[in-house]
Structure 1
Amino acid sequence: MKKAEFYHSHVHSKLDSLTGIRFFAAAMVFMFHASLTRIIGFNPYADSDVIDAFQRIFSGGGWLGVSFFFVLSGFVITWSARKGDSLTGFWKRRLLKIYPNHIATWLLAMLLFSVPAASVAIWLPNLLLVHSWIPRMDTFLSVNGPSWSLCCEMFFYLLFPLALKLVWNIAEQRLWRWAWAMVAGLALTQVAIRLLAPATPLINEYPISLSQWWWAYYFPPARLFEFVLGMLMARILMAGRWIDLNVPWAFALLVGSYVAAMYVPFQYSLNLVTLVPVAALITAIAASDLKDRKGLLNTRWMVWLGEISFGFYMIHLLIMTLATQLLGGRLFDNGSATLIVALTFALSIFGGWLLFNFVERPVMQRWGRTGKARVLGGSLAQPEATS
């Protein structure tokens, strides 16, 4: 069987390894937050050398994890989109997928940290998932910090039906050109922001102004390139035009880009340097799954961790913030501090399981059924790709 025929015949196949790797992306975000001595202030190590090493190793973990989620989201939703899915059914499923966990963690944050009811201009945009559109740090990072990325996802989902039609109308031999166009688009956007956005005032933790940080990282349209690149990589794999880069080499490229990102201007380290390796690794993992290759990522435990990873991502910062308050700013020897980090990590896994088992999965099982399109213009129908 030719390569194109093989991939065409496996479209919509289940990709367990992409579920499993979601947990590693969420874990990178956790370790990034755990390493911070300011903003969150959780880092419990007293040894300054260990603090520096911890921060150095995971300084880009948060940026990488979120970028991975955005590319993966575009890939998986495109891969699973079926002819005849209704627009309302799609939007309903995506809303039911993310909003229940958001509401649960929003309520938990409001209760735990006593967010004043009078600060409605801060907590209401967060509740409605529009807060990342507002260029104020006390708003786009309000209530439960990680929820800003859901605001971007909601924007992606809104545009997805149109984007899918456009992506499916691209001739197969031009897919790679469009994929590289997304990378170029992100690069030009980042350069424009660096040159045009006000360079002051700088924020405390990083060498970037608040305006540059918001435009480059939190503003939803600026992150659309990552999502659409994921969509294009799914189509490239479906069309049998993947270059067959294997998973170990793709992972090595990602590690290399992660290290390289430490030595470029901060703004470009947020997502630009790692974008191509992220897209390559996701596609390589999917291609490996289609060939029924077994590995760590598609083991039963990794798939389970991947399933609870959204809940883990949504609750980990609340648990970490609560732990920071309970510790009262105290610092500890290396053994005790490592135990504290490990315990917080384990509690976040437990919290993620609770959210998945009692919020996310029941809601999806009860109301997330697929609906059929009733009108031609209201479907996610995929036209035959031209070649």
Structure 2
Amino acid sequence: MRFVAAAMVFVFHVAMQQFFADQGAQQTLLSVFTQAGWTGVGFFFVLSGFVLTWSDRPGRPARRFWRRRFFKIYPNHLVTLVVAFVLLTWAAGVHVDGGHALLNLLLVQSWFPQLEIRASLNGVAWSLSCEMLFYLAFPLLIRPIRAIRPDRLWAWAAGVAVVIFLVPAVSSLLPREPFLPMGTNSSYDFWFIYQFPPVRMLDFVFGMILARIVMTRRRLPLDLGGSVALAVAAYALAPLFPWVYTLTAVMVVPLGLVIAAGAAAARPHPPTSLAGRVAVRLGEISFALYLWHQLVLTYGRQWLGGSQGLSTPVALGVVVLLFALTLALSWMLFTLVERPIMRRFAGPRRDRLAISEQPAAVPAGTAVGAGAGADPARADEGSTPDAPS
């Protein structure tokens, strides 16, 4: 599911970058995939709250949680930030504002309404500003959410969803100008509804509550197939809503139900199509794919002569080539940076020593969970109370 969401964001940026000279093909791409960007990011925010709650263990020190989150996020961000800086200054000859670069380095760029700050360097890293707030707040949020009585969880989830629908009304009080470069919509609306970390934390909290709903075995309104059908229908109908509601509100409940139903369907065994070796590895590299893809698309388009648009067959071939390149870079970042750093630094020293003393192979059929012998690099990444990691 994570890979599908990351691929949706990839295609969204393909549409935004005008690869196609044929305006009919370009407009078709925009009409079909503009919603994909908002949907993919929203999925990740809800999923983040769900997975962290699902894999949380009472009594775990907050500092251990924060250390794991830091080493999960920051090394990948630092690598792609440095690459973005080099490409901007060397390949594009652009002067990089030192203040903007510092805010990006510290992952606080999304707190600022100025578009030139939020989109600086590797523009997609704005979402990590939101994730950093989620992670800092999680040890404080999990206690009251754990205290909600199971029979009241759906009421709380509905309440959070209602607040998300009310956010555009609040944003209407902000200035109407400047407009976004891509249209006549207010830049302040886009920032407040879509990129402002405290507002996007509502998606995260919604995911946390949904995790408790599944963990306490409350009844879900739809199974996985029904939830996916609802999400597809909401995606198709999103253009009928005012633009400010398409950014988060329209899709948040359908996406949350897909995640909840997917987790419930994994008991006792996950669906084969979503849990095969290739599917799992694609999910593992999805974070790296998200960080790489806009850089690859932007500079790949320039270097391959697509600045004025390409014929439709050539444009399709270039997009496939750039997607393959993004996958290769993502695999390298995951294999050479993310996974080794998580194994080396993310867990307590005693856990790392235990891992180093384990046999090289585990007998087939052995379930490895989040307890003794589990890989500390994965214990917070989706291991569940009743399913193998």
SS at structure 2 position matched to 1:274: helix
SS at structure 1 position matched to 2:58: coil
Q: Kindly indicate whether residue 252 of structure 2 is the aligned counterpart of residue 275 of structure 1.
A: yes
The answer as to whether partners of 1:129 and 1:151 remain within 8 angstroms in 2 is: yes
User: Which residue number corresponds to residue 178 of structure 1?
Assistant: 156
User: Which residue number corresponds to residue 354 of structure 2?
Assistant: none
Cα shift readout 1:298-337 (whole Å, capped 9, x = no counterpart): 1111110000000000011111111122125132222111
Q: Kindly indicate whether residue 232 of structure 2 is the aligned counterpart of residue 255 of structure 1.
A: yes
SS at structure 2 position matched to 1:112: helix
Deviation at 1:210, TM superposition (A): 1.2
**Alignment counterpart, residue 245 of structure 1, candidates 222, 226, 232:** 222
- Taking the aligned partners of 1:306 and 1:206, their CA distance within structure 2 comes to 33
Q: Kindly indicate whether residue 303 of structure 2 is the aligned counterpart of residue 323 of structure 1.
A: no
SS at structure 2 position matched to 1:245: coil
Q: Kindly indicate whether residue 81 of structure 2 is the aligned counterpart of residue 103 of structure 1.
A: no
User: Which residue number corresponds to residue 69 of structure 1?
Assistant: 44
- Taking the aligned partners of 2:202 and 2:241, their CA distance within structure 1 comes to 20
The answer as to whether partners of 1:78 and 1:234 remain within 8 angstroms in 2 is: yes
Cα shift readout 1:330-361 (whole Å, capped 9, x = no counterpart): 32222111110111111111111011001100
The answer as to whether partners of 1:152 and 1:223 remain within 8 angstroms in 2 is: yes
Distance change in 2, residues 1:126/1:156 (3 Å): same
Deviation at 1:62, TM superposition (A): 0.8
Deviation at 1:294, TM superposition (A): 2.4
**Alignment counterpart, residue 148 of structure 1, candidates 108, 126, 130:** 126
Distance change in 2, residues 1:49/1:180 (3 Å): same
SS at structure 1 position matched to 2:249: coil
User: Which residue number corresponds to residue 335 of structure 1?
Assistant: 313
The answer as to whether partners of 1:147 and 1:314 remain within 8 angstroms in 2 is: yes
- Taking the aligned partners of 2:176 and 2:315, their CA distance within structure 1 comes to 37
Deviation at 1:116, TM superposition (A): 6.1
The answer as to whether partners of 1:64 and 1:274 remain within 8 angstroms in 2 is: yes
- Taking the aligned partners of 2:246 and 2:349, their CA distance within structure 1 comes to 41
Deviation at 1:260, TM superposition (A): 1.4
- Taking the aligned partners of 2:312 and 2:273, their CA distance within structure 1 comes to 30
Equivalent AA in structure 1 for residue 15 of structure 2: S
User: Which residue number corresponds to residue 232 of structure 1?
Assistant: 209
Q: Kindly indicate whether residue 276 of structure 2 is the aligned counterpart of residue 296 of structure 1.
A: no
Give the number of aligned pairs: 347
Cα shift readout 1:110-150 (whole Å, capped 9, x = no counterpart): 11111767611111100000000011111011100110000
- Taking the aligned partners of 2:266 and 2:276, their CA distance within structure 1 comes to 12
Give the 4+ runs in structure 1 shifted more than 3 A. Answer: 115-118
The answer as to whether partners of 1:35 and 1:55 remain within 8 angstroms in 2 is: yes
User: Which residue number corresponds to residue 284 of structure 1?
Assistant: 261
Distance change in 2, residues 1:264/1:367 (3 Å): same
User: Which residue number corresponds to residue 57 of structure 1?
Assistant: 32
- Taking the aligned partners of 1:338 and 1:298, their CA distance within structure 2 comes to 29
Distance change in 2, residues 1:154/1:187 (3 Å): same
Aligned runs of 1:105-120 on 2, under 5 Å? 105-114=80-89, 119-120=97-98
- Structure showing greater relative contact order (alpha-carbon pairs closer than 8 Å, 6 or more residues apart): 1
Equivalent AA in structure 2 for residue 78 of structure 1: T
- Taking the aligned partners of 1:346 and 1:218, their CA distance within structure 2 comes to 29
- Taking the aligned partners of 2:329 and 2:122, their CA distance within structure 1 comes to 14
Instruction: With the length of structure 2 as denominator, give the TM-score of the two structures.
Output: 0.86
The answer as to whether partners of 2:85 and 2:96 remain within 8 angstroms in 1 is: no
The answer as to whether partners of 2:234 and 2:254 remain within 8 angstroms in 1 is: yes
- Alignment RMSD, CA only? 1.6
Gap regions ≥5 residues in structure 2 = 351-389
SS at structure 1 position matched to 2:266: helix
- Taking the aligned partners of 2:321 and 2:298, their CA distance within structure 1 comes to 14
**Alignment counterpart, residue 102 of structure 2, candidates 110, 119, 124:** 124
User: Which residue number corresponds to residue 25 of structure 1?
Assistant: 5
Equivalent AA in structure 1 for residue 225 of structure 2: P
Instruction: With the length of structure 1 as denominator, give the TM-score of the two structures.
Output: 0.87
User: Which residue number corresponds to residue 359 of structure 2?
Assistant: none
- More divergent stretch after superposition (99-108 vs 113-122): 113-122
The answer as to whether partners of 2:168 and 2:189 remain within 8 angstroms in 1 is: no
The answer as to whether partners of 1:207 and 1:266 remain within 8 angstroms in 2 is: no
Deviation at 1:105, TM superposition (A): 0.1
- Taking the aligned partners of 1:371 and 1:165, their CA distance within structure 2 comes to 27
Deviation at 1:58, TM superposition (A): 0.3
The answer as to whether partners of 2:80 and 2:291 remain within 8 angstroms in 1 is: yes
**Alignment counterpart, residue 146 of structure 2, candidates 139, 145, 168:** 168
